[in-house]
Structure 1
Amino acid sequence: MKIYNRLMQQLNINNWCIVIYAPFSIYLNYKILPTLINNYSNNFNEVSEEFKKKGNIEETLN
């Protein structure tokens, strides 16, 4: 019986972790990550546009 109670306590803690973590992970996946990816790809596009305008790396560095 003692083992059973210990097991139920453990399960209870795990369930609370899931309840707290799941909404956060959903928010992370659908809100934070896409904005990070968009910002990164926008910066990358700007940099590659600069390179296209300048021609080669030496001119860009100068």
Structure 2
Amino acid sequence: MTEKEMHSYRLTSMVEPSDKMLDAIMSGVAVMARQSTENAHKELVRRFDALKREIKVYQESLRKHA
């Protein structure tokens, strides 16, 4: 199946997808889901690292004023 054929199909269509078309659609969804999960994990790690740096700066400022 060509990419054009896959993108032209809509699940709301009155035509049932072929097994090959459905397999291609599901494979595409799986790839997008894995990429989304990877991106979310990277963002979570980035935010935790930023928060750890902020906490460290805050703790150091408390020690200086103690």
Q: What is the TM-score with the length of structure 1 in the denominator?
A: 0.57
| Cα offset, 1:54, TM superposition | 0.4
Aligned-pair identity in percent equals 2
**1:1-62 mapped onto 2 (5 Å cutoff):** 6=14, 9=15, 11-12=16-17, 15=22, 17-29=25-37, 31-55=38-62
Counterpart amino acid of residue 25 in structure 1: A
Counterpart amino acid of residue 39 in structure 2: I
| Cα offset, 1:18, TM superposition | 3.4
Higher relative contact order (CA 8 A, sep 6+): 2
Gaps of 5+ in 1: 1-5
Gaps of 5+ in 2: 1-13
Of the structure 1 ranges 16-25 and 36-45, higher mean CA displacement relative to structure 2 is found in 16-25
RMSD between aligned alpha carbons?
Answer: 2.6
Partners of 1:33 and 1:18 in 2: how far apart?
21
Query: Which structure features the higher share of helix residues?
Result: 1
Q: What is the TM-score with the length of structure 2 in the denominator?
A: 0.54
